[in-house]
Structure 1
Amino acid sequence: MSTPAPATSPSWVDRLIPFNVTAWVRRLGLASVLVNLLLVITGGLVRLTGSGLGCPTWPRCTDETWTNVPAMGIHGFIEFGNRTLTGAVGIVALATFIAVWRLRGRYTDLFYISLALGVGVIVQAIVGGFSVLVRLNPWMVGVHFMLSGIMIAMASIFYARARRYSLRSVIESERLSDTPGPDNVQRALGFVIAVLSTVVVYMGTLVTGTGPHSGDASSARHAFNPETVTRFHSVPVWALMILLVVTFILAKKRLWAPAVSKNIVAIFVVMLFQGAIGYTQYFTGSPSSLVWLHLVGAGLLIATVTFLFERMVVLGTPALRQLAESRVDIAEANGIV
């Protein structure tokens, strides 16, 4: 009686460019989320330290050099450091694209999201450059931040789907093997929450563009009344809070997957954090430390809302649910779940 041959471990090429959704793909998805969040955080640091024009031109740092020079001081160092981080985002995007190359036939969603992330890095760099060339015009800076939000959202969708396709705990938490009919309420609420959250974030850029932290003393600001625009910003915030409570109640009443309720709780925690920071910031004259924390919260809000939106739309749409389940079956057949 012969003994079975021991399983051979995959080569380093197969580890970096796997045939299945592996832990490596999941890690790259998480890295994409984190590095895009980090870019938002360092971008806020640039603005709050008045370093927005630390490199006064683009794509060079100065007319003579590609990098900052000692004479430019700390502002040049901070701004050039933020530009350098864009390279790290690009490296992660490239590694993610390469990692899913062999998956492009079966996991087309992961492939095209990774491609979009790579294109997004280039677009972000160009928009960031124009922001410098127009001397941090608040409208352009707002567009730059919203593009960062889109990058965080795409990375979050990639990470969520990589986990769904390869982790049994996620499959069970989503009850993916159940076969319910179309749930228009769940799907519609997912879209409404996403749209309302986008309004919240965009209104936040208007408040920021009206406030004192422009990134450079010579930069223009929005001409809005600060108190008025802040109050307008609070309207969709409160509407989103109420909608989340209603959605949580419906999730329990209609027996939606436990993962949905957990996502809602996560968003609610982020929004409570954001609300506490926002109101404190408003009544204390917008100190830079609180503005920075509020910016961190905005990035977390985008990520957590995206996780909920993606999950509610997939689980509420039979065709998407079946497609996701079929991809999990492929993963299980290859022994990676």
Structure 2
Amino acid sequence: MPNSLNPLELIARRWQPSAAFVRRAALATVVMAVIIVVTGGAVRLSQSGLGCSTWPKCTPDSLTPTAAMGINGIIEFSNRMLTDVLCVVVGVFIIAARARSPRRRSLTRLGWAQFWLVMSNAVIGGITVLSGLNPYIVGSHFLAATALLTVAVLSWWRAREGDEEPRDLVTRPVRQLAWLLVGATGALTVIGTVVTGAGPHAGDAHKVHRIPLDWQEITQLHVDFVYIVVGLTVALWFTLRAVKAPAAPRRMVLELFACLAAQGVIGYVQYFMGLPELVIGLHMLGSTLVWICALRLALALRDRGPLQEDAPAVAAPTGAHEALDAQAVSAPSR
């Protein structure tokens, strides 16, 4: 009975999105995940982390910020509202992936993984406010956002490839080198999060507890890992050339190297200029782009066959109808 079907099944029976639409929906989740990271950084850098004094309301008596809270309340509340936009975008991707025929369960699972990551990170964000911007919880908030970005990139990549068994495009040691690069980039991100937790930008104008470490020493460790990631990137580029890997992953290595170079310049500028907020914001944006490039590169070293695109309508060859008519006319009557 139709009324016994769940809403997603009902939508699937009435709407068949194209493969291109599913890809665009998946890409939209990547874009929104990047925006959430950058705007979350803007909340901290503008000292608006406690712009709303409580959670889930903005104040104990108001869901929205009041005039007395000023710009900080507006910034913090606006970031909360972006979570609703993110939920809508993820929801569109889940619905499109579910309605697409043939159904691809891997895509719908990745969509639901994004949804639960968004929900869990919203709770972590609430705990962040209720804990008075505890630096460990703030760091967890950022890492959860990075996990969301990771799943979004995986969703986008899976939406572009088929469902055959993965086939390596290079030898296994080369793929292992690529995933080692991904691991080093992930460690670089985690260390950068520790630098943030120990550094001077606490997220609020009042005194906020910081991680009891010398942030300059942690910054040096962060720089050391930058050199490791750059070295692995260069090594992978030479390796891919040596094994005559396909052009796409070789191009992606260059894209990753360009992002790392830009990120390195931004990092040195922010350090020697005394950590200006705008430059730190650009550095956070750069970290998301580096992470996306590293993931894409590792995923590009496998092949899962072509994606089943929309089947075009089969048209009769030109002149076929005319040939059939002529044959019918010339055939002797019986």
TM-score normalized by the length of structure 2: 0.84
Q: Please say if 1:215 is aligned against 2:174.
A: no
Displacement of 1:310: 2.0
Contact 1:17 1:98 in 2 (8 A): no
Structure 2 counterpart of 1:145:
142
Check the 8 A contact 1:16/1:99 in 2, yes or no.
no
What stretches of structure 2 of length at least 5 have no aligned partner? 1-10, 314-334
Map residues 226-241 of structure 1 onto 2, 5 A cutoff. Answer: 226-241=215-230
1:178: how far off?
12
Classify the secondary structure of the residue corresponding to 1:164. Answer: coil
1:16 deviates by 8.9
Whether contact under 8 Å (2:19, 2:100) holds in the other structure is no
Query: How is 1:15-164 mapped onto 2 (pairs within 5 angstroms)?
Result: 17-18=15-16, 22-103=19-100, 106-164=103-161
Q: Distance in 2 between matches of 1:198 and 1:223?
A: 23
TM-score for both structures, normalised by structure 1: 0.84
Following the alignment from structure 1 to structure 2, what is the Cα–Cα distance between the partners of residues 39 and 222?
24
Matches within 5 A, 1:130-279: 130-165=127-162, 183-216=171-204, 217-279=206-268
Which residue of structure 2 aligns with residue 304 of structure 1?
Answer: 293
Identity %: 32
Unaligned 5+ segments in structure 1 are 1-12, 167-175, 316-320
Shift of 1:251: 0.7
Question: What whole-Å deviation, never above 9, does each CA across 1:269-317 have from its counterpart, x for those lacking one?
Answer: 11111111111111221111111111111111121112112223xx1xx
**1:263 offset after TM fit, Å?**
1.3
Q: For 1:60-96, what per-residue CA distance to the aligned partner results, in whole angstroms no more than 9, with x for missing partners? A: 1111111111111000000000000000000011111
Distance 2:260 2:16 in 1: 38
C-alpha contact 1:51 1:215 (8 A) present in aligned 2: yes
Instruction: Please report how far the alpha carbon of residue 55 of structure 1 lies from its aligned counterpart in structure 2 after TM superposition.
Output: 0.4
| Distance of 1:177 and 1:147 partners within structure 2 | 30
Preserved CA contact (<8 Å) 2:49 2:203: yes
- How many residues are aligned here? 302
**CA–CA distance in structure 2, aligned partners of residues 53 and 178 of structure 1:** 47
Go from structure 1 to structure 2 and tell me whether the alpha carbon gap of 1:195 and 1:177 turns closer, same or farther (over 3 Å shift). Answer: closer
Give runs of ≥4 in structure 1 deviating > 3 Å.
13-17, 102-106, 176-182
Residues 104, 111 of structure 1: 8 Å contact kept: no
Larger Rg: 2
Partner of 2:279: 290
Rate the CA distance shift 1:234–1:113 in 2: closer, same or farther, 3 A: same
Matched, 1:334 2:306: no
Q: Which whole-Å CA distance do the structure 1 matches of 2:73 and 2:120 have between them?
A: 23
Question: By how many angstroms is 1:226 displaced?
Answer: 2.2
Distance 1:335 1:251, change over 3 A: farther
Amino acid at match of 2:216: E
3-state SS of 1:53 partner: coil
Q: Which amino acid letter does the alignment assign opposite residue 229 of structure 1?
A: I
Return the alpha-carbon distance in structure 1 between the equivalents of residues 166 and 218 of structure 2: 46
Structure with higher helix content: 1
